[in-house]
Amino acid sequence: MYLCTQYCIKGDKMENVERANRWIDIVKEDMSVAEDLFKTGHWLYVAFMCHQVIEKTLKAYWCVCRDDDPPYIHDHKRIAEGCGLYTQMNEEQKLFLTTIRQMNIEARY
């Protein structure tokens, strides 16, 4: 069972869980890519792929919490706020989201 099926589901929302699981399938592939890049020492791209893993995991969580699709953005904080997760995070987790955000920008530009 995927992580997202354990949290936040309101009522009978199996279609939301299925949407979330599609995100999680992509997360697994991205994580595998990050691990391969780690083995070869491509650190900037490891950080970028980890950013993608976090973003897509948050979007999966969004899918089980809301009936609409997650926004087409890369800002972890905004995604976490939109699905109600940000207020449940501790300060260390919030700081981490701010820190990893820079890896998305640096790797793209």
In a domain, 6, yes or no: no
- Spatial contact of 64 and 7, defined as CB atoms under 8 Å apart: yes
- Model pLDDT for residues 28-41, shown as the tens digit of each residue: 999 999 999 999 99
In a domain, 104, yes or no: yes
Read off the tokens for 38.
Answer: 């780690």
In a domain, 28, yes or no: yes
In a domain, 29, yes or no: yes
- Model pLDDT for residues 51-89, shown as the tens digit of each residue: 999 999 999 999 999 999 999 999 999 999 999 999 999
55/24 Cα distance (integer angstroms): 11
Phi-psi label, residue 41: left if phi above 0, alpha if psi -120 to 50, beta otherwise: left
In a domain, 36, yes or no: yes
48/108 Cα distance (integer angstroms): 8
In a domain, 101, yes or no: yes
> How many Cβ atoms from other residues are within 10 Å of residue 33's Cβ?
15
Domain count, the chain: 1
Domain span at 53: 13-108
